[in-house]
Amino acid sequence: MEKQELDYVLVPLGIGLMVAYHFWLLFRVISQPTKTVIGINAINRRLWVRTMMKDFKNAVLAVQTFRNNIMVSTLMASTAITLSSLIAVLMTNGSLIHDSQTLFIGNKSDLNNSIKFFSILVCFLLAFLMNVQSIRYYSHANILINVPIAKNRAVAVNYVARALNRGGYFWSIGLRAYYFSFPLFLWVFGPIPMFVCCVVMVFVLYFLDVNTDGGGGEDQVWMDPDDDEGEC
């Protein structure tokens, strides 16, 4: 196999491995939420909203919590758009790319280099958009969580919890976009570092995403007994 052909083999394998892992994680979150960190966090966010809305004395704590979440999402969005601008500058200066690839094998054509940096740019733009959506839902929930509850208590609590969870989901997707940018960045230095990074990252993400304490018959322990919808 020629050195230039490594990009056509290792790069699709690495990206396919990352995509396959996240499809497996999505299925796991839907079917067995208590066996994933994302699922447990979603369930506990619903319980947290219910607790905050039961007593108006928790209003300050709830607002401070949302403020912290909004600040984190704002930082992530700002970082993503800054990195996007940096990648756009690098795309216009091809000499930097060729100088950095002298020690690595793989396809070094101008078209391939443009694809590499465009892929990284897409990841950062996706991270920016997801974090902006996260701020949107956090802002909605920040107002709604302090609305007085009348007869429609269950509807109000479920709606606020759903908004909070959507903000958390968008934040998680934005973070995953950052994760995808690491192997794509190493692709600049060749397909071998990119593929190795994909394999290592899948193992690291598995230990970060999988919960070994809950699951099985303990699923009901994490659920709110007053929650009629039973959704994350």
Q: Is residue 150 part of a domain?
A: yes
- pTM to 2 decimals? 0.82
Q: Is residue 224 part of a domain?
A: no
* Cβ neighbours of residue 58 closer than 8 Å, sequence gap 6 or more: 51, 52
Q: Is residue 232 part of a domain?
A: no
Interior/surface letters 116-142, b for 16+ CB within 10 angstroms, e for the rest: bbebbbbbbbbbbbbbbbbbbbbbbbb
Q: Is residue 226 part of a domain?
A: no
Question: Which pLDDT score, from 0 to 100, does residue 228 have?
Answer: 46
Q: For a pLDDT cut of 70, what percent of the chain falls above it?
A: 78
Task: Write out pLDDT tens, residues 12-45.
Answer: 999 999 999 999 999 999 999 999 999 999 999 9
Please say if the pLDDT value at position 214 is more than 60: no
Q: Is residue 68 part of a domain?
A: yes
Q: Is residue 108 part of a domain?
A: yes
In angstroms, rounded to a whole number, what is the distance separating the alpha carbons of residues 184 and 179? 9
Q: Is residue 109 part of a domain?
A: yes
Question: Which pLDDT score, from 0 to 100, does residue 165 have?
Answer: 94
Q: Is residue 227 part of a domain?
A: no
Q: What mean pLDDT comes out for the span 158-165?
A: 91
Question: Which pLDDT score, from 0 to 100, does residue 108 have?
Answer: 64
- Could you tell me the residue range of the domain that residue 148 belongs to? 3-51+60-210
Q: How confident is the model at residue 220 (pLDDT cuts 50, 70, 90)?
A: very low
CA atoms within 13 A on the CB side of 222: 25
Please give the tally of structural domains in the chain: 1
84 against 5, higher pLDDT: 84
Q: What mean pLDDT comes out for the span 167-184?
A: 93
Average pLDDT for the chain: 81
Task: Write out pLDDT tens, residues 53-111.
Answer: 887 777 888 888 899 999 999 999 998 988 888 887 777 665 555 555 544 566 666 67
| Length of the chain measured in residues | 232
